[in-house]
Amino acid sequence: MSGLVFYTNPMSRGRIIRWMLEEVGQPYETRVLPWETGATKSPEYLAINPMGKVPTVVHDGVVITECAAICAYLADAFPQAGLAPAPASRDRGPYYRWLFFGAGPIEQMASFAAMKIEVPEEQRGMVGFGSSADVLNTLEGVLQDRAFLAGNAFSAADLYIAAHLSWGMDFGTIEKRPAFEAYTARHLARPAAVRANQIDDALIAAAQKASEPAE
C-alpha cells in the first residue's frame, strides 16, 4: 500500500487535493467514497475523519483533513516539489497569508453566496469575511499585477486560490473579474492541474456510466 492514501469524491473539494498530489509527484492511492452509498458516514471512514467529509489524506499513518491544511502539509512533507517558500524565507509570510485567506474569507464568502445569505451591513463585523466586496477587492488588488502570491514561484497558495476562484466563478459564487480569470487560466494550464482534472473527470464519467440502466 502507498504511504499516501487519498480519500475523495471527484465532485468535491477533493479536486483541489488531487491537483496538489499531482504537483507533489509522489505515488498515492485513491479511495473514492461515493455519495450515494453513504461511504463518508460509514464507521470505517468516521474513524479516520469524524466530520464524515472529504478530502482526507493519510500519510504514513498521519491523518490530515481540511484542504488548506493538506496543501500546507504536503508542501512541507515533500519540499523537493518546490510548492512552498523555505521556512526562513520572507516569502513564507505572504504564502501563509494567502493560503489561509482562501481557507477563511474566500471559503466563507463563497459558502454564504451559495446559500444566498446576505449579511446586513451592521453585522459584517461579526463574520470573518466582512463583505463580498472586501474579499474580492482585496484579492483583485493582489492579483492585478503579479503571477504568483508568494515571491516569484508557484506555490500551494496559488494552487489553493486558483482552485477556489475557478470553482467559484464556474458556479456563480465568485464574481468574474479579468484579474481572476487571467490568474486561474495561467495556473489551470499547468500539467499537474490538467492531469488532475482528467483523472477526476474520468471518475465522474465512469460513475455516470455505471449508474445508467442496462439496455
pLDDT of residue 122: 81
Residues 18 and 38 both lie in one domain: yes
74/78 Cα distance (integer angstroms): 6
pLDDT of residue 215: 61
What CATH number does the domain containing 49 carry?
A: 3.40.30.10
The answer to whether residue 87 is domain-embedded is no
Residues 36 and 114 both lie in one domain: no
Helix axes 67-77, 92-101, angle to 10 degrees: 150
Residues 103 and 162 both lie in one domain: yes
pLDDT of residue 140: 97
Residues 74 and 96 both lie in one domain: no
Residues 98 and 176 both lie in one domain: yes
Residues 183 and 116 both lie in one domain: yes
Full residue range of the structural domain in which residue 60 is found: 4-82+193-211
Helix axes 107-114, 132-143, angle to 10 degrees: 130
Residues 199 and 147 both lie in one domain: no
197/138 Cα distance (integer angstroms): 28
Residues 97 and 25 both lie in one domain: no
The answer to whether residue 121 is domain-embedded is yes
Do the Cβ atoms of 99 and 71 come closer than 8 Å? yes
The answer to whether residue 127 is domain-embedded is yes
State the DSSP code for 32: E
For the chain, how many structural domains are there in total? 2
pLDDT of residue 1: 45
Low-confidence ranges of the chain (pLDDT < 50): 1
Do the Cβ atoms of 57 and 33 come closer than 8 Å? no
55/60 Cα distance (integer angstroms): 16
pLDDT of residue 79: 97
Residues 207 and 154 both lie in one domain: no
DSSP per-residue letters across 141-156: HHHTT-S-SSTTS--H
